[in-house]
A and B are shown apart, each in its own frame.
Chain A
Amino acid sequence: MTANTWFAVYLGFSLVVPLAIAGLALINTGLGRSRSAAHAMTLSLSVVSLAMLIYFAWGGAIEGSIGGPFFGVGFGPFLRYVPWTNPSSAAALLPILSVALSAMIPLGSSADRWRLSGACFSTVVFAGILYPLFARWTAHAELFASHTQGLIFPYAPTFLLDAGGSARIHATGGLTALSLSWLLGPRSGKYSSQGMPAAIPAHNGVFVLFGCMLAWMGWLGLNSTGAMLHLPPGLAAERLVLIIANTSFAAAAAALAAGATTRVRFRRPDASLIANGWMAGLVAGSAGCATLKPATAILTGLVAGFIVVVSVEFFELHLKVDDPCGSISVHAVGGLWGLLAAGIFSGSAAQFMAQLVGIATLLGLIFPLTYGLNWLLSRFIPYRVSIDGERQGLDLNELGADAYPEFVVHADEFLQR
């Protein structure tokens, strides 16, 4: 593949990546309440916009590029060192889109109670510090190679295997989602005084399921461009068909596994958990999309689909974490499983250990950092809407207009009186 062909293929796949963002926005909106639907979409658009601009301003300078020093060279502040008129600027395109997708993930766990202003400040921290820090950690050659090449794991692959971004995009966003869910607390009326959770169903299942299909399209672009950036050019071109097949197989297997698990567990398939299963399959399959065999991609998806159902229930029932859209289970748990699965199925003990180091960094560095920074922000900027605002709905409370003004008046059937 010539450089120009590579660039054309890369650009083609990049153009569908925003569909993943659109899909996730629809899923988050559909799984939330109708009285907060316009707020959820507005928040998605605001967070995506802010994440891209903050990444442009200084996030890109922190992430830099492979082989560059920590700050100043690489992409540089305001991406000033990106050669925009040259095909090599392609390296800057995927991170810009990835940070937008990653920043949207916490919106799912904090739906129906997070203020617009709080979410925007949190996004500044996420896109300006957390995402680029971890992305740099995973991509920077010196960090892993100097520890492992020939010294500790002779002849072994030494980088974190994360072509599509299970860790970089999803686990980072998912762990931030967990932090925010803990910091915000559950929606009013979610738990009874005995600690029993109330079911607050999705307001629009069609949004959710259509969002899954859009996300699939976006993921094909995300995983293909990710592999093209992180694998040697020749190798990535050879594997594009495999990447597309693996991405699709993992999602399909996960959706069916989630459906079967809910059929056994609740006696009927649950649409929102099947959607979560589909998304978890996409997330888990991302890390090893270029290296898994189709059979192992299916196995990764099957496990992801089962795990997501168990995880959603565990967080809601046992940890009392109110995650309306299942973002923690899909992106944090699914992402960590994807990272582990890529190591398990690589057939290399060294690669497996490298994946464990990646998981250790996510849990031991990124999670405390995201929790601490959001905790600090929440001391100065009110994160949560008032109880009355929540009851009224975030559309009216924060935006002054409902998403569905011609609908009947809300019945508050899920709130305790």
Chain B
Amino acid sequence: MKLLGFLLLLSGWGIVETALHLLHRNALSAFILAGLGVEILGLALVARAHLPPAEASR
């Protein structure tokens, strides 16, 4: 899940960068927002992967 989260983070940035290079104004805004959405999903997965099991503590 952690790896998937980081892949989503990188993919989101890839969407934003690719859109910046290829697209024009209207579509660009939508793709920047979509890229950020993918990143937020990735961040949530990474955060969830770091949650300790309920009974574990150091």
Q: Give A contacts to B, CB under 8 Å.
A: 147-148, 151-153, 182, 185-195, 319-321, 349, 353, 356-357, 359-361, 363-365, 367-368, 371-372, 387
B20-43 CB mask vs A (1 if < 8 Å, else 0) is 110111001100110110011011
With a cutoff of 8 Å between Cβ atoms, the chain B residues found around residue A361 in the complex are 13, 16
- A186 vs B50: C-alpha distance when bound (angstroms): 11
> Which of chain B's residues has its CB closest to A113's CB?
B58
Contact B12 A364 (CB under 8 A): yes
Partner of B52, one of A195, A353, A359: A195
Known: A360-B35, A360-B36. A353 touches B28 (CB 8 A): yes
Bound Cα distance from A364 to B6, whole angstroms: 8
Across-interface contacts of A152 in B (CB, < 8 A): 20, 23-25, 28
| Residues of A contacting B43 in the complex (Cβ-Cβ under 8 angstroms) | 363, 367
Q: List 13 A-B contacts (CB under 8 A).
A: A152-B20, A152-B23, A182-B50, A186-B57, A186-B58, A194-B55, A319-B51, A321-B50, A357-B20, A360-B39, A364-B14, A364-B16, A367-B43
- Give the A-binding residues of B (Cβ under 8 A): 6, 9-14, 16, 20-21, 23-25, 28-29, 32-33, 35-36, 39-40, 42-43, 47, 50-52, 54-58
* Bound-complex Cα distance A360 to B32 (A): 8
Is chain B's interface secondary structure helix, strand, loop, or mixed overall? helix
A31 to chain B, nearest CB (A): 20
User: Is there contact, CB below 8 Å, between A319 and B50?
Assistant: yes
Q: Is there an interface contact between B39 and A364, defined as CB atoms closer than 8 Å?
A: yes
Residues of A within 8 A of B57 (CB): 186, 190-193, 195
